[in-house]
Structure 1
């Protein structure tokens, strides 16, 4: 219905989803087929070029996708819609059309930018599909004003024009405002209003002219499949053979998914939208809108003009979840007195508090009243991002779900590129349908997290702020001990992850004075993290590495398969561990891995996300078996100069540098616990990753803890870990680099062996020019200054890139920030990082920043 807050790290979308045709499992009997004036026919036709594609849903996403596919030469496209065209009754039919591009997600910002670009070029019968009236976000509290400064930084990072403006300027842009309640605003002049139905129609017409057909009043009742591939779509009016099927059904996505045997983790919710009666202050208005879209996020409200009326949307009410399996079909909805299936009855009791807030901001509304209102249904996922991609369970079945109007054209382009070219040009890992863990896909989890996403749409949320429920969900075997040690937990992938331990607070007494942090960077941080980092550098610390994904790859073809899929040389003797990369065919970094060869035909792979497992399973031959062993195992990282003194007395095996070299692995026992020990270090210190089965995890922790008492062992958390890894320049996939970056741009060329033989992405790397950008380390000049990530970086006074990861380096006494910047910036080059509107001086550094000779790891 309206925009979501780009300040929200988990809900970076900013416009209503495009929910298209209603696919029902219950057949309501024969209905008259109405093709409409833009349906190119229902009877026999000459097949178009390319594979047969059936798109389910003719809302904004389905029409955009048909346009993008046919523009790329795939013209054998059929779009099925259960409702009548051109307004089939999904969320596209009632979307108020707000388009705000600024988001903490670079991907969503790029989707939105393309949507604005494309819709700006479209018109229907002389009516433009996009009105560039701009956007204005208001601050009525100091906290919100600070948040708007941060959002202005996101805009600068992603190349979006915007500025922080005074309350007086806000009044100029929106004369109806009570200036006295406004502290300032964020104005984005190139944002605006999308006519979703007109944009859908314009793209429908273009796709139809290229050969696509659009069939309304076709209710999908089944998905045909054979041999693990989709073969067709069953409707109440016949079967449509297909090589590819795309579910663009919006909040009906879970219904279609069930037909295909694919779960779609999406929760529909209703959101209030109302229109006033005419305002005397707008009397005589002829244009649909001239003022910017207005956001009053401190009260969960937004406003737009409808000629002489004002449209108002509210997120201030209680979450109103909707069961997608209970939403009526179009004709049923009309028979029940509904305007359309996605428009539920207005609930005045939910609206009353918001109306008072409206009057406070826009006193002129006191001269009018609400004329019409409805509760519009749209989609939320557990993390607020779209669901895109082809399912592995049913090949040829694609999702383009939970997509809001703001991102519709950008998503359609990405999915069309994915289908036609094999990969999208944009990084879409945040939207990949495989991203959720199995524990995050239950209906209960999706419902609860979806409702919380709705409640937090306009909240000011810290980048580290976790969802509060349902927690705890996944815990390591060490959880009881961690709680005893006063662990402060954040969450990732459903795992409870300690960020520091309060039992180490006494260690801060010997640190000296740490720089005082500002209110924002001090959230979800403690000086205890500095003490834990220091203990790791000076003594020894235990880190819970259990949440890191572990895969077991076995079989006679395992070596050849992994060597073909990755960039480094894996043809080493058992006991070797190798850092390597997964690339796509274009040479982009899909992930980074550690591969341990434990036996001739058995490997343990340290991976990043469920997408890595999905990618490997898609390519694995029949003589290779891949199993996710994360949940049945656990891992402790033992790191620090006294690490060897801790573990050696627990085993008869030689843990000396000569007997157990760096990047080696061996099976051994520590006390009574069988472990797989790998000599790796992501903190830049001597140590090992120690793996065992989950049932023995607590015994492993207790064994190590008892053995380390006399050495001053501490438990350390992710906050210290992140600081230490940045001091060493170790990259974090998904944050520092993605598949939009090549290994050479990301500083990972050392993990690529071009002479080892063929591997996925090798051919693309051969033709690459010298990088024009590089992941570059920066040290902030002021020891007291900290940035957090995603801030714009200025070089020579102009925006030049953006920060990926940042953390205070306690060993270095400076904040470390990695940023994508133009290649060729020499160490010593000055730069400025924009943090809450202030340009903080920084200097390009030479990496690694800490222990460049690697003497501490290889001791």
Structure 2
């Protein structure tokens, strides 16, 4: 044991493909790295992975990450001399009904947006690439030539060899017994071979990660699910370069292996595993094959590949793998513990993601930030509901079962609900509310007119869904009279202390050193000027701020703010989300309604835009914020939860004669698109600066006050930008949902970050960045002729840099 290190910079725990990839990339960056595997490399779940490598996802950066895996696997064998089994034989995806064909066409457009060559084929063309299959029920297919397959164990061993070549040390049969943490600081790890001092621990433990991280207070929401696939004996006539095949309407996938086939799939009734903990010593182990459970998939596959009826079956493998509640993997620095990183929960596409996930997390560790925005897989997307293993398991079963189901626009999860409810939940439900869910919160998406026979239920579609007209009613009410949104789910924090002003002034890009009662809309930037948070701050006292941000960003934004309070400053951040309900009263008649229920003046002279006041309503102390996200006069009314129903009743009693109605989040989306308001996570994020997003007006560059990201903004103001966010209005009756390709003068320049319908305009609207490596300015954007690719078809559109709607009711011609 003399060669066992006493101290290193980082310890990686777990020797599957993800751990070895992380070690490979960290070592390449010059880090002193040790990887510890409790048994043997690949012995957890990697050894039984199917090995398909697909690239396309609904997010550009996750697609880029998977594309990096392909590029790495292409060169890895030559670099290390270790075989990988990599074959870039392409990937086919079938569509067997017209709705699935629409989905595939939209996926092809997404691929084109992200720079991938996805080709649409006829059934006969697809059969030419995959001669073993029947195509009598196939409508069409998509082919991605750069997809492929690999041998999971060989890829992992090649990455491990590459890691060693770069200086990493790898120890098998070495179990980590504990992580030593003193006063929130990682000091080292205790192992069965002894102690290693380190400052960074990286948990790449697959399905063991949740339990391992729990020991140091870190929550990783994943559970083990059973996943089966069969391997056949050689089948005559199978070409070696047979593409991988996904047949989502039959819930199955296929790849060639040693002149036979691997066939697996995603059952509609999945089975979890190890609900009471993974058995001690479990490694290089498969579960008992469950032929009865696999039989429905087998029957579906026979209709596609008749040769399976007579093929010999080598084995039916049943291997547990880690899955997550939303089907995305989990990456990043844990919000609970500095320098504890996670790279786990790969939902059976760990081989496809392994190369890119290792690269991205290694850069995150070494440079203090990921190489690009990875919000869809960021560990901070989770929150309070994700601490309960039963809730996680329930939601994960649904996510697993939906793996090959139709990916409808705006589809909501159904399991594990309701979880978190506003005090108004039952009142809104009685009014016909159809709820969606965000971070466990039930939020009204739209309201059905049950008195006239509308069913309060989502019916999904790629064209106009059943909520199209009801949302239109809510939209019209917001523009003509008034609406009430229940936005209780907003994340709400207080920042308090003698240094609160100075701390927030450093973190916030806008000027927050304003008089008490001032409301400040601001971004919080990284060192590159990218937008990490987009929120509202209220100066509630000389030493206190009330901060409001989006529901889904509660963990992320709390973590960003708390980590960036300068060292030595006395300011405490507290999450007060559950203490307050929020009723947003919006519309041209909102002032009349509000004045009916309070004696406090709410006229413009006494209560101007961008201000907050304490007002009384029905005996309740209300913190009223004059702000809008829908382009109309309005207030957010922040109410202690015990008063919420009284305030709600008072507002409706006063508003009934003025046309007040309840409205939901889907109306908010249509209203904000007409106004051009940006949404974090789609239109803006760490890859976008305020200058690029048209939000430079909210940055305090006219002051000399330093703030995080200031130098990057100064650089962009001197040298210009290479992308600019614009609004697009489509000609004709097309449905925009985001990721449609933007063409300027026939050249691809970007994609829509969000899309929807503008009821005031009567047209579909999208937001997206126009990109040009030589620079983009106002004249460049407005001088072009634009088209949008929608489900592979080009549609003419108009471009705008100004809002399409203003509160006076005037519109930009569209």
What are the Cα deviations for residues 568-610 of structure 1, in whole angstroms up to 9, with x where unaligned?
Answer: 1111110101111111122110011111111111211112312
Residue 430 (structure 2) aligns with: 484
Q: Is 1:467 aligned to residue 413 of structure 2?
A: yes
Q: Distance in 2 between matches of 1:464 and 1:441?
A: 25
Q: CA deviation at 1:713?
A: 1.0
Deviates more, 1:212-221 or 1:838-847: 838-847
Contact 1:828 1:843 in 2 (8 A): no
Residue 849 (structure 1) aligns with: 804
Q: CA deviation at 1:522?
A: 2.2
Q: Is 1:530 aligned to residue 472 of structure 2?
A: yes
Residue 726 (structure 1) aligns with: 673
* Structure 1 residues 204 and 663, CA gap change in structure 2 (3 angstroms): same
Q: CA deviation at 1:325?
A: 6.4
Q: Is 1:368 aligned to residue 311 of structure 2?
A: yes
Q: Is 1:796 aligned to residue 745 of structure 2?
A: yes
Q: CA deviation at 1:647?
A: 0.9
Which ranges in structure 1 are unaligned for 5 or more consecutive residues? 1-40, 334-339, 509-516
Q: Is 1:244 aligned to residue 190 of structure 2?
A: no
Contact 1:465 1:524 in 2 (8 A): no
Residue 713 (structure 1) aligns with: 660
Q: CA deviation at 1:833?
A: 1.7
Residue 310 (structure 1) aligns with: 261
Q: Distance in 2 between matches of 1:46 and 1:482?
A: 61
Q: CA deviation at 1:637?
A: 1.0
Q: Distance in 2 between matches of 1:151 and 1:368?
A: 33
Q: Is 1:231 aligned to residue 187 of structure 2?
A: yes
Q: Distance in 1 between matches of 2:220 and 2:482?
A: 44
**TM-score between both structures, scaled by the size of structure 2:** 0.93
Q: Is 1:291 aligned to residue 242 of structure 2?
A: yes
SS in 2 for 1:657: coil
Pairing partner for 1:457 from 389, 396, 403:
403
Residue 488 (structure 2) aligns with: 546
Q: Is 1:586 aligned to residue 540 of structure 2?
A: no
Residue 689 (structure 1) aligns with: 636
Q: Is 1:780 aligned to residue 730 of structure 2?
A: yes
* Structure 1 residues 448 and 518, CA gap change in structure 2 (3 angstroms): closer
Write the mapping of 1:744-755 to structure 2, written as runs, cut at 5 A. Answer: 744-754=691-701, 755=703
Deviates more, 1:565-574 or 1:649-658: 649-658
Contact 2:11 2:198 in 1 (8 A): yes
Q: CA deviation at 1:565?
A: 0.4
Pairing partner for 1:159 from 98, 112, 115:
115
Q: Is 1:618 aligned to residue 563 of structure 2?
A: yes
Q: Distance in 2 between matches of 1:259 and 1:787?
A: 45
Q: Distance in 1 between matches of 2:451 and 2:802?
A: 31
Contact 1:828 1:844 in 2 (8 A): no
Pairing partner for 1:119 from 65, 73, 85:
73
Q: Distance in 2 between matches of 1:544 and 1:504?
A: 20
Contact 2:102 2:462 in 1 (8 A): no
Q: Distance in 2 between matches of 1:506 and 1:713?
A: 19
Q: Is 1:110 aligned to residue 73 of structure 2?
A: no
Which ranges in structure 2 are unaligned for 5 or more consecutive residues? none
What are the Cα deviations for residues 541-572 of structure 1, in whole angstroms up to 9, with x where unaligned?
Answer: 11112122111111111111111100011111
Q: Distance in 1 between matches of 2:204 and 2:22?
A: 9
**TM-score between both structures, scaled by the size of structure 1:** 0.88
Write the mapping of 1:270-669 to structure 2, written as runs, cut at 5 A. Answer: 270-282=226-238, 289-316=240-267, 318-323=269-274, 326-328=277-279, 340-341=284-285, 343-403=286-346, 404-503=350-449, 519-523=461-465, 525-608=467-550, 609=553, 610-620=555-565, 623-669=570-616
Contact 1:64 1:412 in 2 (8 A): yes
SS in 1 for 2:681: coil
* Structure 1 residues 524 and 229, CA gap change in structure 2 (3 angstroms): farther
What are the Cα deviations for residues 360-417 of structure 1, in whole angstroms up to 9, with x where unaligned?
Answer: 1111222213221111221111111121122243222111111312111211121111
Please report the RMSD computed on the Cα atoms of aligned residues, expressed in angstroms: 2.2
Q: CA deviation at 1:750?
A: 0.8
Residue 701 (structure 1) aligns with: 648
Q: Distance in 1 between matches of 2:338 and 2:275?
A: 24
Residue 64 (structure 1) aligns with: 21
Q: Distance in 2 between matches of 1:118 and 1:103?
A: 18
* Structure 1 residues 162 and 245, CA gap change in structure 2 (3 angstroms): same
Q: Distance in 1 between matches of 2:810 and 2:769?
A: 29
Q: Distance in 2 between matches of 1:507 and 1:661?
A: 42
Q: Distance in 1 between matches of 2:201 and 2:97?
A: 48
Residue 32 (structure 1) aligns with: none
Q: CA deviation at 1:463?
A: 2.8
Q: Is 1:831 aligned to residue 776 of structure 2?
A: no
* Structure 1 residues 766 and 325, CA gap change in structure 2 (3 angstroms): farther
Residue 686 (structure 2) aligns with: 739
Contact 2:503 2:569 in 1 (8 A): no
Residue 203 (structure 1) aligns with: 159
Q: CA deviation at 1:853?
A: 7.9
Write the mapping of 1:161-176 to structure 2, written as runs, cut at 5 A. Answer: 161-176=117-132
What are the Cα deviations for residues 819-841 of structure 1, in whole angstroms up to 9, with x where unaligned?
Answer: 12123444374322222222222
Contact 2:254 2:263 in 1 (8 A): yes
How many residues of Structure 1 are paired with residues of Structure 2 in the alignment? 788
* Structure 1 residues 273 and 200, CA gap change in structure 2 (3 angstroms): same
Q: Distance in 1 between matches of 2:261 and 2:402?
A: 24
* Structure 1 residues 348 and 70, CA gap change in structure 2 (3 angstroms): same
